[in-house]
Structure 1
Amino acid sequence: MNVTIDEACLDTMQSLLGEQFSDTLVFCISEFERLEREVRESLPVDLEAATRNAHSLKSNAAQFGAMSLSDSAREVEMLLLQGDVNAAKDALGSLSQQVIGSTAKLQQWLMANA
């Protein structure tokens, strides 16, 4: 599994948010984990909620440079929009791994650049 972080996005967000950047990134990382959990928990019972959470995860990840996570969330979102629930369930494993890998890389970047 390849985890891609666009550090230029992080640099841009850091210059925009200034002193609030570190706290915002830490919150965003926790949101990645929460949104992935919400997708997983809502998928069998509420496809609309699962789709909405996948969309939010896709957007939040892209904003903070977690490009492979954003791509993985986009895949789940598109599968749900197409009504392919089984394929979406299969894609959750990759989504979970992307959350773990992206979280680790973002935390490493924060420690090196804060």
Structure 2
Amino acid sequence: MDTKIDESCLENMQALLGEQFSDTLEFCLSEFDRLANEVRATIDNDLEAATRNAHSLKSNAAQFGAMSLADASRTIEMALIEGNVDYAKTQVSVLCSEVDASKALLQHWLTSTKV
């Protein structure tokens, strides 16, 4: 998957949050890791929790422009909702790769836009 970041989402959040943007984005990046780890940890024994964590990751990612990560999260969320657990499990490695790639791109964007 080619990792995509929608910079207009970041710019909108930056305008909305002002001075709190950098800290909020850093927190969000740590949440990407936490939520992906929760999906991985619960997908074998608590599908409700795995679905909820995939949904939260999808929403957080989309809000900060991590569109590929949002898509990967949505894929798992929908597969779990539809009862396609085996397929969802195959997508966890994609999700984790997207977390890493999205975080790198978002951190680069943050570093390159700091004044």
TM-score by length of 1: 0.99
Give 1:40's aligned amino acid: R
Give 2:111's aligned amino acid: M
Aligned length: 114
1:40-96 alpha-carbon deviations (Å, 9 max, x no partner):
001101000000000000000000000000000000000000111110000111101
Alpha-carbon distance in structure 2 between the residues aligned to 1:7 and 1:113? 11
Give unmatched runs, 5+ long, in structure 2. none
Percent identical across equivalent pairs? 61
Alpha-carbon distance in structure 1 between the residues aligned to 2:54 and 2:95? 10
In the TM superposition, structure 1's runs of 4+ consecutive aligned residues that sit over 3 Å from their partners are: none
Alpha-carbon distance in structure 1 between the residues aligned to 2:60 and 2:70? 8
- Aligned residue in 2 for 1:93: 93
Listed as ranges, the matches of 1:35-114 within 5 Å are 35-114=35-114
Alpha-carbon distance in structure 2 between the residues aligned to 1:75 and 1:81? 10
Coordinate RMSD, CA, aligned: 0.5
Instruction: Please give the secondary structure, in 2, of the residue aligned with 1:3.
Output: coil
- Aligned residue in 2 for 1:24: 24
Alpha-carbon distance in structure 1 between the residues aligned to 2:20 and 2:113? 14
Instruction: Please give the secondary structure, in 2, of the residue aligned with 1:79.
Output: helix
Instruction: Please give the secondary structure, in 2, of the residue aligned with 1:44.
Output: coil
Alpha-carbon distance in structure 2 between the residues aligned to 1:87 and 1:68? 18
TM-score by length of 2: 0.98
